[in-house]
Structure 1
């Protein structure tokens, strides 16, 4: 199957709700160059947590916005792509149907799914909902990230086409293992076995095995230690 994307890029700017951020993006038309670090004209502010080779692109399913509109009707004007800073928005691709390691053709580029998105506290400021990142994590409507395994030219008029499936772990299952399940060594080893898993998620799972505990989420979700 093929899926036509909306494509978004953004520059780092000072924002009232998110500090220095490139979360505010604009729709991009025409051909764009896609390299190892992402789309031409797209930037990331906090590169420790955003961007880099394993997180070159962020994809968020367009159909999830209906869930957010239903939950927060007062935010009707906010919940449209690219509200969450995504580069790619589609209908028909969700966490249930996309798998870690999936390789897609996009134009003459090739991209590979590396991990779910890990919601962070900047989404709380963006939405004005103090625990929005936590709610996104709990619902599993997180979206996912890609690495670029072949650079090329891409556009919104060029569909994404699945070329190969390289693991049996969906993005939904990866979210469950990382964010929802209690401590479980077997699940962590299962996720570590997924071809294409990002380096940062591989390290997180290995750290859980080494330390025999789940890391604290509060700093990522609320911007504070807890």
Structure 2
């Protein structure tokens, strides 16, 4: 099955009262070059936590925006793509039916799902909703990230097509294992076994297995702790 896609890229900008960010993306048309670092012309402000080989592209389901707008009617105008800083927007692909390791063909390129997108406090600032990052995590409306396994030319009029499924762990299940359940060594092992999992998530799950503890989410979600 093919999924039409809308494509967005952005430049790093300064924001008074917050850190620099490239969350403010714009829609692009026509042919683009996709490398192992992402779309040519797209930027990331904090490369330690954004971008890189395992996080070259961010995908956010467009249908989530209607849910958010219903829940936050006063901010409804904000909830339109690409408010969450995504590169790719589709209808029909969600955390429930996309799996860790899924390989999609997009134009001449091949991209692979690596992890759920880990919400951070910047979306709270840009949306004006103090705990939107926490709600994204709680409700698993987080989207997901890709690595590029074959570079090439892509375009907004080239749909995404699933060509291989290599694990039995959905993005929603991965998020539930990482964020929603108490310490569970068996489930961490299951997630670690999912082909295609990002190195950073593999590191986090293995550190939990060794320490027997779950790290705090406070710094990522709210910028403190």
- The two structures have a TM-score, normalised by structure 2, of 0.99
Aligned to 1:185: 185
Kindly state the Cα deviation for residue 183 of structure 1 after the two structures are TM-superposed: 0.6
Aligned to 2:146: 146
1:194 pairs with 2:194: yes
**RMSD (CA atoms):** 0.7
User: Hey, which bits of structure 1, 4+ residues long, moved more than 6 A?
Assistant: none
Contact (CA 8 Å) 1:105, 1:111: kept in 2 or not?
yes
Contact (CA 8 Å) 1:17, 1:122: kept in 2 or not?
no
Structure 1 unaligned regions, length at least 5: none
1:163 pairs with 2:163: yes
Aligned to 1:96: 96
Kindly state the Cα deviation for residue 190 of structure 1 after the two structures are TM-superposed: 0.2
SS in 1 for 2:207: helix
Aligned to 2:19: 19
Give the Cα–Cα distance (whole angstroms) in 2 for the partners of residues 218 and 15 of structure 1: 22
Aligned to 1:82: 82
Give the Cα–Cα distance (whole angstroms) in 2 for the partners of residues 29 and 72 of structure 1: 30
Give the Cα–Cα distance (whole angstroms) in 2 for the partners of residues 68 and 142 of structure 1: 12
Give the Cα–Cα distance (whole angstroms) in 2 for the partners of residues 96 and 186 of structure 1: 21
1:67 pairs with 2:67: yes
Give the Cα–Cα distance (whole angstroms) in 2 for the partners of residues 18 and 137 of structure 1: 21
Give the Cα–Cα distance (whole angstroms) in 1 for the partners of residues 19 and 73 of structure 2: 26
SS in 2 for 1:83: coil
Give the Cα–Cα distance (whole angstroms) in 2 for the partners of residues 16 and 62 of structure 1: 28
Aligned to 1:221: 221
Aligned to 1:28: 28
Give the Cα–Cα distance (whole angstroms) in 2 for the partners of residues 135 and 161 of structure 1: 30
Kindly state the Cα deviation for residue 76 of structure 1 after the two structures are TM-superposed: 1.6
Give the Cα–Cα distance (whole angstroms) in 1 for the partners of residues 58 and 73 of structure 2: 25
Residues paired across the two proteins, number: 225
**Cα distance per residue 1:67-91 (max 9 Å; x no partner):** 1001100112100000000000000
SS in 2 for 1:145: strand
SS in 2 for 1:158: coil
Give the Cα–Cα distance (whole angstroms) in 2 for the partners of residues 16 and 192 of structure 1: 40
Structural mapping, 1:102-121, within 5 Å: 102-121=102-121
Q: 1:95 to 1:199 in 2, by over 3 A?
A: same
- The range that moved more, 151-160 or 8-17, is 8-17
Aligned to 1:205: 205
Kindly state the Cα deviation for residue 17 of structure 1 after the two structures are TM-superposed: 5.3
Aligned to 1:43: 43
Kindly state the Cα deviation for residue 16 of structure 1 after the two structures are TM-superposed: 3.0
